[in-house]
Amino acid sequence: MSNDLLRLQEIDKRFAGVHALKRVDFALRAGEIRCLVGENGSGKSTLIKIISGVVRANSGDILVEGERVPSPTAGEMIRRGVQVIYQDLSIFPNLTVAENVAMPRVAVSGRALIDWRSVKTIAHAAMARIDARIDPDAIVGDLPVGLQQMVAICRALTSDIKLLILDEPTASLTKVEIDHLLSVVYEMKQRGIAIIFITHKLDEVLKVADTVTGLRDGEIVGTFERSALDHDKLVEIITGKSVDQSRFELESGARKTLLEVRGLSKRNNFADVSFSLREGEIVGVAGVIGSGRTELAMALFGIAPAETGAIVVEGVERRIDSVQAAVAAGFACVPESRLSQGLALKRSVGDNVVVASIERCVGQFRLLNNQRRRSLVAEWIARLAIKARDPNVAVETLSGGNQQRVVIAKGLATRPKIFILDGPTVGVDIAAKSAIHQIVRSLAAEGAGVILISDEAPELVRNTNRILLMRGGRIRSEIVSSSLTPEQLQTLVEAA
């Protein structure tokens, strides 16, 4: 179509044995906000990389404003007005805000010497466009992640941009910043700039998109008008299956209190946190980025211990000043970042499962008993149905969902009473998500207490019996989950 801003025709891409994109057609008009949804491995990121020129397709054409781009390199696509704001932001943490923002323009100008005044001017202009109040001389690496993202966006605005691709942009923004971002996005739309918005938060898709393209297994499932979609339909597009509606139910009856937290505080992290956790409960912790939830988890697990307050486990006050102390007290934790905090990627599945409880395998003469180790590994692989051909395979070769099961198994092997899960299904395919939810529910059913920290309202609402709302480092309120809808929770979180 001649009024398409961007058109991909028959784009095909293979990576050493994986057919990432199978003769895909994709078109986008000026001023259109398109959301791209798909699981990991669906080809979503490959598509973006091809559009931005970072990766070259094996065959197929890219047309910008009707004109075929013969050599779509990164530099060329930038010249044509395609900009990507990556998840990792691609900012230079050691340079100032002004320099980061102005860098692309300076690079394009080809001048050998730096004119600092023009750097400042360019930066001010870009920041003014979205009313970003950031000190231009601040070192970007010292800023909180939300502001860093603003810097990245300002940077994209310094050139003549026709298509902006935002890759999971709201993952670490506060509500205010998200609103800001969206208003910027709408403003750009008015000016005829097309936006591709990639997000795994389905409620965001429903809020922002004009149209939605779904990808599955390297093929485009279809492009849909927003009005024809709802949450469940989106799930079906992405997974090909219908959504699991079951909820976690807490049976009535007397329950032992496993954990009591009283007045737990840590400067610049959280203040006066008090709550209790009983056997069999799954207590959710909701809140926006920067509310202190992960910091609380790290304090309970001994990674970044609290300064004042008490942690009482089964009636006994415990001093949690190290991970060893936390594990001894009965805590287990699935940390926020699976790849950088949860797993030793190049070690085997077995090693990763057994690492936190390796002491149980120590036998005579303080030597490891291989038999015991093997059976421990086999037990947990079976119990959690971890799909790995062989326990000696490197854990990095497993899928995201299976990797997460390994992290959970590691925690379970220490026989914890209290399990803290921080974003346990992030980056896990929707099908695998419900499997993990089942695991968590059975943990509770067996008598453990579970603390579930999550950004996904549907996950919280369906898998907890009550939810704590945190904001600004404090617990603001507590709600019962049973008749709560995800939308209601989302509103409460944003309003807290």
Partner 1 sequence: MKSLLNRNEFYLAILIAVLCAAIGSLNPHFFAPQNILAFLKTSSVNGILAVGVLFVLILGGTPDVSFTAIAQVAEYAVVLATLKWGGNVGIAFLMACAIGAALGAINGFLIHYFRVTTIIVTIATFNVYYGLLYVLTGGGVVFVVPTFFKKFGESLLFSSHDAAGGVYGVSLVTLLWFGALALGWFILRRTFLGRSILAMGGNEVAAERMGLRTVAIRLFVFSFVGLLSGVAAIAHTSIVLSAIPNSIVGKELEVIAAVVLGGASLFGGRGTILGAFLGVLLFAVLRNGLVLLNISSYWYDVTIGAAITIGVSFSAIQQLRARRAKVNVIVTEAA
Partner 2 sequence: MNAPRRIAHGFADAPLVAILVAVVALMALANPGRFLSPGNLASLAYQLPMLALLSFGMMISMLTGGINLAIVSSANLTGIVTALALKALTGGDSASASMLFVLIAMAVGLLGALASGALMGFLIAYLEVPAILATLGVMTLIDGINVVLTRGYTLSDFPDALLAIGNGDVLGLPAPFILLVVVVALLAILIRQTRFGFDLYMVGSNLTAAQYSNINVRSVLMRQYMLSAFFSALTGFVMMGQFNSVKSNYAQSYLLVSVLACFLGGVDPFGGAGRLTGMALSVVILQVVSSGVNLLRVDPFFVTAMWGAMILALIAINHFVGQRARSRSAAAIMTNDKDIRLAAGGADKGKIEERR
Q: Which residues bind partner 2 (CB under 8 A)?
A: 15-18, 40-41, 45, 87-89, 145, 167-168, 171-172, 294, 301, 303, 322-324, 327, 333, 335-348, 351, 355-359, 362, 366-368, 388-390, 392-394, 396-400, 410, 414, 426-427
Quick check: 334 and 422 in contact, CB under 8 A? Answer: yes
Length of the chain: 496
- Our finding on whether 95 is near partner 1 (CB under 8 A) is yes
Residue with structure tokens 């409880």? 357
Which CB, 358 or 385, lies closer to partner 2? 358
Sign of CA dihedral 299, 302, 303, 304: positive
Quick one: 86 or 275, whose CB is closer to partner 1? 86
- Only segment of 82-90, 188-196, 241-249, 398-406 that touches partner 1 (CB under 8 A): 82-90
Residue the block writes with tokens 């800001």? 180
Q: Which is nearer to partner 1, 187 or 272 (CB)?
A: 272
Q: Please give the single-letter amino acid code of residue 390.
A: D
Query: Which partner in partner 1, partner 2, none is near 113 (CB below 5 to 8 A by kind)?
Result: partner 1
Determine the Cα–Cα distance for residues 242 and 235; give it in Å rounded to an integer: 7
Selected binder of partner 1 within 187, 472, 488, 495 (CB under 8 A): 472
Instruction: Identify which of residues 249 and 272 has a Cβ nearer to partner 1 in the complex.
Output: 272
Of 160, 202, 208, nearest to 33 (Cα)? Answer: 208
Q: Whole-number minimum distance, CB 295 to partner 1, in Å? A: 5
50 binds partner 1 (CB under 8 A): no
271: which residues sit within 8 A by CB, 6+ positions away?
A: 265, 473, 474
Neighbouring-strand partners of residue 36: 198, 213
Whole-angstrom Cα distance, residue 226 to residue 234? 10
Could you tell me the CA-to-CA distances from 426 to 40, 101, 229, 409 in Å, in that order?
11, 30, 23, 17
**CA-to-CA dists, residue 27 to 166, 179, 226, 227, angstroms:** 17, 27, 16, 19
Q: From the CB of 426, what's the least distance to partner 2, in Å?
A: 5
* Shortest distance (Å) from residue 246 CB to partner 1: 34
Site for partner 1 (CB under 8 A): which residue of 27, 54, 303, 355? 54
Q: Which of 118, 84, 78 is nearest to 98 (CA)?
A: 118
- Work out whether 222 is an interface residue with partner 1 (CB under 8 A): no
The secondary element (H helix, E strand) that includes residue 158 is none
- Specify the residue, 109 or 482, whose C-beta has the smaller distance to partner 1: 109
Distance, CA of 14 to CA of 22 (rounded, Å): 8
Q: Which stretch binds partner 1 (CB under 8 A): 81-89, 178-186, 201-209, 383-391?
A: 81-89
107 makes contact with partner 1 (CB under 8 A): yes
Is the Cβ of residue 159 or residue 399 nearer to partner 2 in the bound state?
Answer: 399
- Least separation in angstroms between residue 63's CB and partner 1 is 22
Q: Which of 86, 224, 240, 244 lies at the binding interface for partner 1 (CB under 8 A)? A: 86
Tokens, residue 439: 């695991």
Using alpha carbons, select from 4, 55, 45 the residue that is nearest to residue 26.
4
Query: How many amino acids of this chain bind partner 1 (CB under 8 A)?
Result: 41
Q: Which of 276/399 has CB closer to partner 2?
A: 399
Is residue 268 involved in binding partner 1 (CB under 8 A)? yes
Q: Do the beta carbons of residue 296 and residue 264 sit within 8 Å?
A: yes
Strand partners, 419: 332, 450
Least separation, in Å, of the C-beta of 113 and partner 2? Answer: 31
As a whole number of Å, the CA-based R_g of the chain is 24
CB closer to partner 1 out of 6 and 78: 78
Closer to partner 2 by CB, 45 or 465: give it: 45
Q: Could you give the CA distance from residue 487 to residue 329 in angstroms, rounded to a whole number?
A: 37
Question: Is the sign of the CA dihedral 331, 337, 338, 342 positive or negative?
Answer: negative
**If contact means CB under 5 to 8 A according to the sort of partner, which of partner 1, partner 2, none does residue 281 touch?**
none
Q: Name the token pair of 32.
A: 């259109």
Among 91, 156, 376, 430, binds partner 1 (CB under 8 A): 91
Residues forming contacts to partner 1 in the complex (CB under 8 A) are 54, 74-75, 78, 84, 86, 88-95, 99, 103-104, 106-107, 111-114, 137, 141, 144, 267-272, 290-292, 295, 471-474, 476
